[in-house]
Structure 1
Amino acid sequence: MGKKPRARYTLEFKLEALRQIAAGQSVAVVSAVLGVGPSTLHNWQAAQRAGKLGGPGSKPVSDEQMELARLRAELARTKMELDIGKKSGGVLRKGVEVKYAFIESKRHVWPISLVCVQLEVSASGFHQWRQRQTAKEPSKAQRRGMSNDALLVHIKAIHAEVKGEYGWPRMWKELLARGMRVGKERVRKLMKQHGIRARTKRKFKATTNSAHNLPVAANLVARNFAPTRPNETWTSDITYIDTAEGWLYLAVMLDLFSRQVVGWAIAPRMTSELVIDALRMAWFRRKPAKGLIVHTDRGSQYCGKDFQRALKAYGMVSSMSRKGDCWDNAPTESLWGSLKRARLHGKRFETRQAAQSEVMDWLAFYNATRLHSTLGYVSPMQHERNWLAAQEKKSA
């Protein structure tokens, strides 16, 4: 066995953790979601303030500059998030009620004043609307009798919130999860009538280069994509994002049990270090028992000695798809399709950083919020929480 690689958090992981804190999430919440100790997060914040987080050449910045940068980042992210309202028929421009509903859905993520400025409504008007909504909180019976106009407001707000990613089945499940008892056929007809639909699927080229003479592992998964518990089988793959500065490559580790992205890495080159960084992040977050299967394609990044050495050091077992068979890694291919049609198709990123921010935002949304049809329309993280609760109940 080769020397065990030093476990570490990648720069992308640190930046995502700090971005969530800067966006208004508490350190405790970010710690629980990402599996990082609060003291580690505080150390990263201190390193960022000292200019020691961003790599060679970064300069220390003052607290005032950090605060200004944080507000600018939030403003830029708000503009990016609200851009869907301008490109999908102007959903957020069609009524004050829809705008207020959208602000309400995001009030724990962004400063209310910033979102109000972007949507051209007054903060005082929003707070007055919220007070009226609280005073008139509908009962379950009232929700079942909700008018089409009221239901449409909620549908449009959710459609904007998830950036047009949900079709009517997920929209219906989301409405149910938010306490609105409405029929699925009613939701389908209302969305069709008003032209509200999910983004269409697109085809994308593959990034696998299997023209090599490196050793290939056996296919241990054989399309069994339903393990019985977390950390039994992970799958991994690489995709690409086009930017004006050049290609950007994304590698992920996906836990098949919950379909949660447990590790990821982004870099301008498609190297073995890219997939090793994603593996390191996943290992650091999950600390799985030995024997976990990591299923990949036959790309040189995965077949190479460096990645295989890392797997052995972590006590993991390599599994690989058959040559040229994308169906052998269908869950990860499905993840790429969801990412690209939801966030990347039709967009032109001027910088790699802009593309990275968009991808990181979607991964956070995908893990914690997006309803997954394979999981019975709950998010990957919720699916794991439900499983853990069931295990605790059995052992009680």
Structure 2
Amino acid sequence: MGRGGEEGCLSQVRQGHIYTSIKECRAEAGYPIETACKLLHVARSAYNKWASGNQSRRIAENEWLAEKIEKIHMESPDKGYRRINDDLRHDHDIHINDKRVLRICRAKNIKSTIKYNNHGCTRQAKNPQYLAENLLDRQFFASQPNEKWLTDVTEFKWYEGLEVHKVYLSAVLDLYDRRIVAFVISERNDNPLVFKTFDKAVGKNPDAHPLFHSDRGYQYTNRTFHHKIDKAGMTQSMSRVAHCIDNGPMEGFWGILKRERYYGKRFTSKQALIQMIEDYIRYYNTRRVQRNLGVLTPMEKYERYLAA
């Protein structure tokens, strides 16, 4: 079917809810169909065709797809048409192209939540005790798990009346499968926060000796932290000054988390905010499919490597 034919089908999908309303008004209140069609600017012949059930296979298929798409969007309003299509493939074994999903989304006025720019909170060290070269050099890929790890800290706010409070999230991300290896939440953005995160990641992966990349925040340029990396048999790498893109995937994860669960909301308790972060990281690792992973979740990608 050509683009014109497809647009015609989607136009009828768009009109479907109007036809349904006319039918319900007729059944429940005996409202005249002809009058309802005029009021809603619908052709009587088009309504009759819809009501008779003599729709083309393509129209029926688009309506079926629209129901699936609307359900996905209702469950996760943050998802745009690409992520909706990824869910259709991953969860429903439905394989259609992005453009078709986009046209159905437009017909049903389905839009993802607004995206926001992320601003990190790591403070650069004024007098760094140790500096490492940018060995990662924006090579944001890995051939196996635990080959390259990225880390960073970001902040979240919660409110008690007019008083603003903060919590800080420190996390380690694996470049192979984009899974969050370990994370720690604290009320303080300090050395113990970063050290605990590192120890947690090593504790879960005692045989891992990855390239460990961060920005030049004061926690990461601390001599004690460098000794911890050396002791774990890892190699340290650091972003260049004022080059956030050098740690792009980690910054990208912050943006994903905040767009999907944080921006546009006002948290009024620390526990609710912490619960959201913990729940989201669990969801991200085990349920959120990613196209650059082959429409798999991070843990599916990781487990497939282990199985192979």
TM-score grouping bracket, smaller chain normalisation: 0.7 to 0.9
Instruction: Check the 8 A contact 2:202/2:208 in 1, yes or no.
Output: no
The 1:280/1:146 distance shift into structure 2, 3 A limit, reads farther
Instruction: Give the aligned partner of residue 31 of structure 2.
Output: none
Q: Does 1:155 align with 2:69?
A: yes
Report the counterpart of residue 204 of structure 1 in structure 2.
118
Name the SS of the counterpart of 1:229 in structure 2: coil
Offset of 1:160 from its aligned partner? Answer: 3.0
Aligned partners of 1:363 and 1:294: how far apart in 2? 21
1:116-155 counterparts in 2 under 5 A?
147-155=61-69
Q: Distance in 2 between matches of 1:384 and 1:309?
A: 29
What is the deviation of 1:206?
2.5
The structural deviation recorded for 1:375 is: 1.4
Instruction: Say if 2:85 is the partner of 1:176.
Output: no
Listed one character per residue, the Cα deviations across residues 341-393 of structure 1 (whole Å, up to 9, x for unaligned) are 1010011111111111111111111111112132122111111222233x3xx
Report the equivalent of 2:152. Answer: 237
Q: Residues 339-378 of structure 1: matches in 2 within 5 Å?
A: 339-378=257-296
2:219 aligned counterpart, secondary structure: helix
In structure 2, the CA distance between the partners of 1:252 and 1:188, relative to structure 1 (3 Å rule), is: same
SS of 2:137's equivalent in the other structure is coil
Corresponding residue number in structure 1 for 2:131: 216
Report the Cα offset of residue 144 of structure 1. Answer: 9.0
Amino acid at match of 2:239: S
Verify the 8 A CA contact 2:214 2:239 in the aligned structure 1: yes
The alignment's C-alpha RMSD in Å is 2.0
Higher-Rg structure is 2
1:294 paired residue number: 212
Which one of the candidate residues 179, 182, 195 is aligned to 2:109? 195
Give how far 1:171 is off.
1.1
C-alpha spacing 1:248/1:176, structure 2 compared with 1 (3 Å): same
Partner of 1:259: 178
Give the corresponding residue for 1:305.
223
Structure 1's 146 and 315: CA in aligned 2 closer, same or farther, altered over 3 A? farther
- Using the alignment, how far apart are the partners of 1:298 and 1:234 within structure 2? 15
Tell me whether 1:329 sits opposite 2:247 in the alignment: yes
C-alpha distance in 2 between matches for 1:249 and 1:352: 11
Q: Distance in 1 between matches of 2:106 and 2:228?
A: 50
Report if the CA contact (8 A) 2:168-2:185 is conserved: yes
Matches within 5 A, 1:70-89: none
Q: Distance in 2 between matches of 1:312 and 1:145?
A: 62
> Structure 2 vs 1, CA of residues 181 and 145 (structure 1 numbering), >3 Å: closer, same or farther?
farther
TM-score (norm 1): 0.59
Deviation at 1:314, TM superposition (A): 1.8
Question: How far 1:276 sits from its partner (Å)?
Answer: 1.4
- Provide the rounded CA distance (Å) in 2 between the counterparts of 1:314 and 1:145: 60
Identity %: 34
Post-superposition Cα deviations, 1:83-122, rounded to whole Å, max 9, x if no partner, equal: xxxxxxxxxxx9xxxxxxxxxxxxxxxxxxxxxxxxxxxx
Secondary structure of residue in 2 paired with 1:242: strand
Are the structure 2 counterparts of residues 146 and 217 from structure 1 closer, same or farther at C-alpha, using a change threshold of 3 Å? farther
Deviation at 1:308, TM superposition (A): 2.0
The alpha carbon displacement at 1:195 in A equals 2.0
2:236 is paired with a residue of what secondary structure? Answer: strand
Q: CA deviation at 1:243?
A: 0.6
Matches within 5 A, 1:27-42: none
Query: Which residue does the alignment assign to 2:195?
Result: 276
Say yes or no: does 1:186 pair with 2:89: no
How far 1:224 moved relative to its partner?
0.7
* Alpha-carbon distance between aligned partners in 1 of 2:95 and 2:294, rounded to the nearest angstrom: 17
2:207 maps to amino acid: P
SS of match in other structure, 1:212: coil
1:220: how far off?
A: 1.1
CA contact (8 A) 1:235 1:329 kept: yes
Which amino acid is the alignment partner of residue 203 of structure 1? N
Q: Deviations over 1:161-220 (max 9, x none)?
A: 3x2232111211211221234443221111112221222221233312114211211111
| Aligned 8 A contact 2:215 2:247 in 1 | yes
Structure 1 stretch displaced more, 223-232 or 188-197: 188-197
Name 2:77's counterpart in structure 1: 164
Mean CA deviation greater in 164-173 or 297-306 = 164-173
What is the rounded CA distance, in whole Å, between the counterparts of 2:189 and 2:151 in structure 1? 14
Count matched residues: 247
